[in-house]
Amino acid sequence: MTRASVHLESGERIEFWAQGPGRITIGIRDQTVWQIPALSAVPASYSYHHREASETTFEWDDTVTVFWAYSYVPATVAAVGITMWDFSTAGIMRRHGEELSNWMRCDEERPSLHFSPPKNWMNDPNGLCKIGDTWHVFYQFHPCGNDWGPMHWGHATSKDLFNWLHLPVFLHPEQELWRLGATGGAFSGTAFEGKNGQHVFFYTERLPAYDLFTGYREVQKLAIPDRNTIKAECVTSIIEERPKGVYHDFRDPKVWWDDAAGGYRMVLGASLDGDPAVLLYGSVDLSEWTYLGPLYRAPKEYAEAGARAIECPDFFPLNGKWILLMGFVGLTEASTGRHNLLYALVGNFVNDAFIPESVELQVLDFGTDFYALQSFRAEDRQIAFAWLFNWEYRKTAVSPYSGELSLPRQLCLDERNRLSMRIAEEFETAVRKEILTPDRDDGYAIGKYPFEARLSGPLEGTTIKASDANRLSFELTVRDGMISVRLEQDDGSIRYAARLDTADDIRVIYDAGIVEVFADGGRVCGTRRSYANTSPDHIRISSLAKVTVSALHLAEPIFGA
Ligand code: FRU
């Protein structure tokens, strides 16, 4: 039995995910006020609401495992964030604000410029929006481990897109899935700002599922949050029936008001009689939805190459065109061996029909550790984040968490109407740069900090090699007009490469295993996430281009409003 005493505020709430079979007891002045005599033998979620400020004792026995725990006072949490709790045989350790940030920063394996959850598994970014002066990121979250599992929505906010305040879990699965021995839960979705300025969230619930690949049921839901956007307060199912030809994959809604149609529109990722497809729905009130037909259906060769469905479709206007972004789950590209590819199509949207300018899909990221991209409109910009993962490599070391988001990006069209991505301008103020001087061999000592390399001018023949004690971390090369990135662990069976047009500018950001490459003004982007040899201390750049290398440091976090 472990016993710990902590001070709790009046109104403080503790939410935690734990597994038994043991007991956990909360007491005030030796009086039990809350107890679970036997925690469930599978993970479950619990919450305790403290009513008066007092010293409080917690007692739990050795068979209790707490996977994720935090506390907060509802009235102040939007401004100050959660306090993370760690239960161990040494007692309870609580971390808040700067202490929580410092604890996250102490993990040398954790990228510092990229968003990651304090603990446990994260995948897709969800519900991206800006409310007032605050950016919101929600994300697919499994609170009970470092692997994908019953999905919740984690939540964090920021004033500058780089420093994040961690908030309570926003959405739970509708069922206690662990107890059912099932997966599923609150899957991906997006934010929608109504005409009254209120933000609501559309998402998919995968109902209790007993097979990862077939036979599951997915329904669409609408979540209305409380005043401070801390908890989904009212959740309703809005689409339960699947159209003909759609059997199980039917998810990831994105909603917009469509001026031309004079109504609301929604896209969903799906599989239509086996072909990856994007489906279009219409509504006049956001709650009754009618199926309008497929917006896009992939040619047969995609299903033949393994694509089971489209995930996380994004559809939005940009510079007079409409852009359709799609993830093809299951697809392996025959010519390169790459999988987890994200594609874009640029076209027009007329009378509820999408007419692409070219049938050829634009590969959005040649590195492929860049998936489930979600974009949203704010301040007249199309901002986006993606999840940096592609199931090829996993963290080998014991780590408190898994999953990061890309740097915030701004989406644009180039002069030939191809989609390009650049780092959002907030980078310039949130990140301090310290320009490094090269040694005689064009090498730079980077001292294990994140760094940026910018090259402008002729790139043919360029190599950038980052290493630690002669072990390669990554290597970028430009040869015969192709750019490619290789990690130490690559065996060459998959080719991560793209053709350059102008080949006269490259920007590379490296952050503890994450390599983000922007070339040709952002038209060619490549992202790799390595979990091996993630702290190179030296880079060598051989190029005819002008080279600038800078060490990068996050400017001080901003806490509170
Ligand atoms: C993409 C995805 C989505 C789904 C979510 C589940 O990575 O598979 O299609 O909503 O993740 O976590």
The token pair that represents 41 in the structure block: 């033998």
Give the CATH number for residue 18: 2.60.120
Query: What mean pLDDT comes out for the span 142-155?
Result: 97
Question: Is 156 contained in some domain?
Answer: no
How far does the centroid of ligand 1 lie from the alpha carbon of residue 461, in Å?
A: 39
Question: Is 59 contained in some domain?
Answer: yes
Q: What percent of the chain has pLDDT over 90?
A: 94
Average pLDDT over the chain reads 96
Closest-CA residue, ligand 1 atom 6, reads 187
Question: Is 37 contained in some domain?
Answer: yes
Domain boundary among 79, 96, 113: 96
Residue 79 is classified by DSSP as H
Gap between the Cα atoms of 515 and 475, Å rounded: 10
pLDDT given at position 556: 67
Residue to mutate, 120, 123, 171, 314, ligand 1, most ligand atoms under 8 Å from C-beta: 123
pLDDT given at position 398: 82
pTM equals: 0.97
Give me the number of domains the chain comprises.
2
How far does the centroid of ligand 1 lie from the alpha carbon of residue 295, in Å?
A: 20
Query: What mean pLDDT comes out for the span 522-531?
Result: 96
pLDDT given at position 557: 53
Query: What mean pLDDT comes out for the span 163-175?
Result: 97
pLDDT given at position 560: 41
Query: What mean pLDDT comes out for the span 521-540?
Result: 94
**CB contact at 8 A, 228 and 207:** no
Pocket of ligand 1 (CB under 6 A): 123-124, 140, 151, 187-188, 204, 251-252, 311-312, 371-372
Q: Find the domain containing 9 and state its range.
A: 2-96
How far does the centroid of ligand 1 lie from the alpha carbon of residue 136, in Å?
A: 19
189 Cα nearest atom in ligand 1 = 10
pLDDT given at position 300: 96
How far does the centroid of ligand 1 lie from the alpha carbon of residue 442, in Å?
A: 43
pLDDT given at position 449: 87
Query: pLDDT band for position 394 (50/70/90)?
Result: confident
Host H or E run for residue 303: helix 300-304
Question: Is 28 contained in some domain?
Answer: yes
Tens digit of pLDDT for each residue in 70-126?
Answer: 999 999 999 999 999 999 999 999 999 999 999 999 999 999 999 999 999 999 999
Closest-CA residue, ligand 1 atom 12, reads 187
Position 417 pLDDT exceeds 90: yes
**CB contact at 8 A, 548 and 438:** no
Closest-CA residue, ligand 1 atom 2, reads 311
Active site members = 124
DSSP per-residue codes, 238-301? EE-PPPTT--S-EEEEEEEEETTTTEEEEEEEEEETTEEEEEEEEESSSSS-EEEEEEEE--HH
Question: Is 46 contained in some domain?
Answer: yes
Token pair 């490094």 is at which residue?
A: 436
Position 448 pLDDT exceeds 90: no
Question: Is 329 contained in some domain?
Answer: no
Tens digit of pLDDT for each residue in 112-135?
Answer: 999 999 999 999 999 999 999 999
How far does the centroid of ligand 1 lie from the alpha carbon of residue 530, in Å?
A: 21
Domain boundary among 96, 118, 145: 96
pLDDT given at position 391: 86
Question: Is 524 contained in some domain?
Answer: yes
Domain boundary among 76, 96, 116: 96
Position 377 pLDDT exceeds 80: yes
Query: Please, what is the Cα angle at 169 between 204 and 213, to 5 degrees?
Result: 35
Tens digit of pLDDT for each residue in 490-518?
Answer: 999 999 999 999 989 999 999 999 999 99
Query: What mean pLDDT comes out for the span 283-311?
Result: 97
Tens digit of pLDDT for each residue in 256-270?
Answer: 999 999 999 999 999
311 Cα nearest atom in ligand 1 = 9
Position 559 pLDDT exceeds 50: no
203 Cα nearest atom in ligand 1 = 10
327 Cα nearest atom in ligand 1 = 1
Give the CATH number for residue 525: 2.60.120.560
Question: Is 260 contained in some domain?
Answer: no
Query: What mean pLDDT comes out for the span 463-482?
Result: 95
